[in-house]
A and B are shown apart, each in its own frame.
Chain A
Amino acid sequence: MKLELRGITKRFGSMVANDNVNLIALPGEIHCLLGENGAGKSTLMNVLYGLYQADGGEILLDDKVVKFSGPGDAMAAGIGMVHQHFMLIPVFTVAENVILGHEPTKFGSLLDLEAARAKVREVSAKFGFEIDPDAIVGDLPVGVQQRVEIIKALIGDAKVLVFDEPTAVLTPQETDELMAIMKQLRAAGTAIVFITHKLREVQEVADKITVIRLGKVVGEADPKSTANELASMMVGRAVDLDVEKDPAKPGKPTFKVEGLSAWSHAGTKVLDDINFEIHEGEILVIAGVQGNGQTELTEAIIGMHGKTAGSIQLDGRELIGKNVKQVLDLGVGFVPEDRTEDGLVAEFSIAENLMLDRSDRKPFAKGLNINLDYLKKFALEKLKQFDVRAQGIESKASQLSGGNQQKVVLARELSRELRLLVASQPTRGLDVGSIEFVHEQIVATRDSGIPVLIVATELDEATQLGDRIAVMYKGKIVGIVPSNTPRATLGQMMAGISA
């Protein structure tokens, strides 16, 4: 089935999220929709899926105009969507999840689970998925859960399949497998729309590439384009994706983690005997698929994790048992993975956010008062130094783009006397320009002789930024390897296989 989006326009208030967007997806073709976060990719797909109504333009299936008032209509018309965040019920079995919304019945109203199981087996066999229809979805690995989503779409008889940033949660191996599945579906005649901002994946599977920037289609790209060419199109200016950095000149190992274990509230072990050290002037990247203990590790370092055992030493001083304030005062800079949740107060101004961790001391405090004169001077200086694009220091953090928010967090953390920098997924969700800036700042911090710990979930970032890479899997460190380790090896380590 041929899908055509013709002149789709979608506005939110005064903001135009999609401006006259055209896109044609043909059967047996993988059409990549490439664009940065906030470029309007998801809005476009939500229009297609009936979640938003377009302000202009039309949707055509096999050259016939269709109108969707909700996802139900879109599904009935043969459009399936695999969302970034799975729409599955973890406590249900695969079969139960797959039939949700259009349950087959027998004898009038009895749920016909056997029919559902049969369908799962049928699709599963056709594409070699090897999925047990009676497995509880919550027990399955993420990659397999995604296949359940795909089966769900296929059983709904989808002729057009939309994958919305499907690889964000996958290991490199799982990503490769997904690519293979997409190729198989293509061979079976499905029209595929693949939304992503990851250039490597685009290069691997795309038959056609549409690049979208600030809500507008900026053009089609040749599938044989280089990563830098694609990125330049996506950003609208020449970009160099490689992180520029000199070889590390490591000094003394001033940050040591020894035998660190941690337990969740429920008592399960979330960190298991972690050992590593970071030298002055060195970046150690903790790589791994999200949810393998990285969050707990950074929490343990800054004194926010409840139950821990072992030792974390900075400059010979023990961090375990200290509270957040004490840890920060020892010179730890912390960039949390969720900046809007943990890094910033959205309703506070940029200036207020810049003094969030130091409001109790000079020069930000003058007696009991806030030193407003100093704060203003400080904020103006940081705004300039960190190239924060905002109307002024009184702009609220919530009014800033993700990139500028992260710059505010970095400005705050890097303007203290640091002895260690911990940054968790520092470029998550940022535009290419901001990513470059954040990487530069991190490398500059390293070069000033500070040990740096980065948590990365994307292999490209890990290999480019890191001087050494420690791979985490299920709360353990699988191994610590140099950053020029082959991708395949790192991928295996991320799945728990020691190098």
Chain B
Amino acid sequence: MIEVKNLHKSFGQEEILKGINTEFYKGKTNLIIGQSGAGKTVFLKCLLGLFEPTDGTIEYNGKAYSSLDNETQRDLRQKMGMVFQGGALFDSMTIAENVMFPLRMFTKQKKSEMMDRVQEVLQRVNLENVNHKFPSEISGGMQKRVSIARAIVNRPEYLFCDEPNSGLDPKTAILIDNLIQEITKEYDITTVINTHDMNSVLEIGENIVYLKDGNLAWNGSKDEIYKSEDKSLTDFVYSSELFKKVRKAQLKGI
């Protein structure tokens, strides 16, 4: 579980995050949503330890990140997996080498053991016969799946995803969403997804954190969104005609 307490983050005079208090639960798909410029990426980077908060604390299983010594911070980071928006796969490495990378860096396993694990996770994300290909030789959807495989290969406790289905067609986007949710349950990990894809919100949003202008504007599940009367939230989530109809249908119990 991740607990965020009074999180502030400023760049110079500009305050991006203005005192966020929330929790992200283990075994659930936790979503951060909000309009562009709401502070989602900064929030995610604070959770990842890439940005140091100006004020407030982030606790991982009860331990504040800022209070940990360098060694423990590093150990904690090795328990984090990250799926970047663009995949962030290493261009000079093959798919198998990309997925194997965290194992090479942090374990003393034999190459054959590492290869077995690589095969296992690649099969888990439904990828076969791509071991010797380079990232530029596979599609965007496949790159996302490789990125997920790399994120889970070292059995993380926390999985972070930055807009995992951006740039994907609707069908592949749903596949990626479902894959992340399945992995979250299967590995019993704390998953935090940064997204503004409303399909994802209504499909896999078990705990949704809605940010507006750097503040936590709403917190709840996808079922609670349907009933919410919070105008800024409903304006954001149901901005399209399709989602307005979905909401009406949900409220009528259709």
* A, B co-complexed: no
